[in-house]
Amino acid sequence: MKVTIDGQSIEVEPGTTILQAARMIGGEVVPPAMCYYSKLKGSGGKCRCCLVEVAKGSEADPRPMPKLMASCVTGCMDGMEVNSKSSPRVQEARKSVTEFLLINHPLDCPVCDQAGECDLQNLSFEHGKSESRFIEEKRTFEPEDIGPNIQLHMNRCILCYRCVMVADQLTDDRVHGVMDRGDHSNISTCISKAVDNEFSGNMIDVCPVGALTDKTFRFKSRVWFSKPYNAHRDCPTCSGKTTVWMFGDEIQRVTGRKDEYHEVDEFICNGCRFDHKDLRDWTIEGPRAFEKDSVINQNKYNRKLQKVEIATEETILKGRETDRKKISMAQIPLTQEDIMNQKSLGNNG
């Protein structure tokens, strides 16, 4: 079957979705996907980021599809013509979805462990606006403790359902799910139960945002300060093939090996992920490559930054000096002795 996306044609097997075909072509035609995960059955269709325009249904029925279609769950037809990035309508829809996903998002990237490898950050970088039109109070959820290994930040969740599918498809005993409905839907165990089984850690890897993060890596480092290496070990439970994130000689974090669409090659077990942080546990294969534009490649800011010139710098400094004089604050930092003196003065007075 032949399918054409943004003018580029490719031959695909029947049953291929538009998104899969786009990924085969690669590059700019690939729609963003926040909920679809090729390794999880039944995923996709929910976030609506990957909407595309079907300009020609198929050779047999060339009529265009009136609505934009979710490319991750729409099958290719022979002769189908699809507009992805080239369509203004599609671009507009992606902007819309990005805005919707962000209105209630806390935007707490500065304190979020996912920052730097977050699909929502990437999406908003590409399709987001610099200002929000949402002036209402943001939705928040009460924190829930789901055990010693996984940190749940419901406020950041975009409800992709991937973590629920991981629990359903990788384990026999799912204990968390989606509770409530509408904009109060939330991921929860309902009873603050620990999500604890050999493969539960994969919830972290499939989470596209910072809703599920690794508690053993919590606040340890920004992801771009650590260096990723492919590593393996003999593991009785999983393949043992992982990426270890190093800072100096220290393994700060272990994750699955993710491809360019941030999907893991293989799911790994909790033993590898949480309990093996000693360098001697692993055979290091070599550095792991990331896409060109990933901040992870910026690595330690080793490129020289250009100095930012501010035209009014001098004026600003003068202004500060004046302000300082107005408010009677010491110009040089106070010594411990000065502080003690002041305190005793206050007490006596």
User: Given the rule CB under 8 A, which residues bind another protein?
Assistant: 44-49, 51, 67-68, 70, 73, 75, 93, 96-97, 99-101, 103-104, 133-134, 136, 139, 141-142, 144, 158-159, 173-186, 188-191
Nearer to another protein (CB atom), residue 144 or residue 265: 144
Token pair for 272: 């590898």
What lies within 8 Å, CB to CB, of 41 at 6+ separation is 165, 169
Nearer to another protein (CB atom), residue 121 or residue 188: 188
Dist CA 192 CA 186 (whole Å): 13
Longest dimension (CA), the chain: 95
Nearer to another protein (CB atom), residue 179 or residue 317: 179
Nearer to another protein (CB atom), residue 162 or residue 253: 162
| In the complex, minimum distance from the CB of residue 181 to another protein, in angstroms, rounded to a whole number | 5
| In the complex, minimum distance from the CB of residue 171 to another protein, in angstroms, rounded to a whole number | 11
Nearer to another protein (CB atom), residue 189 or residue 226: 189
Strands 227-232 and 212-214: unpaired
Helix, strand or coil for residue 145?
Answer: coil
Return the H-helix or E-strand segment holding 163.
helix 162-170
| In the complex, minimum distance from the CB of residue 234 to another protein, in angstroms, rounded to a whole number | 33
Helix, strand or coil for residue 214?
Answer: strand
Nearer to another protein (CB atom), residue 176 or residue 257: 176
| In the complex, minimum distance from the CB of residue 133 to another protein, in angstroms, rounded to a whole number | 6
DSSP summary character for residue 23: H
Residues 276, 280, 286, 292: is their CA dihedral positive or negative?
positive
Residues 203, 208, 212, 217: is their CA dihedral positive or negative?
positive
| In the complex, minimum distance from the CB of residue 158 to another protein, in angstroms, rounded to a whole number | 7
How many other CB atoms are found less than 10 A from the CB of residue 281? Answer: 18
Nearer to another protein (CB atom), residue 108 or residue 180: 180
Dist CA 1 CA 59 (whole Å): 10
| In the complex, minimum distance from the CB of residue 95 to another protein, in angstroms, rounded to a whole number | 8
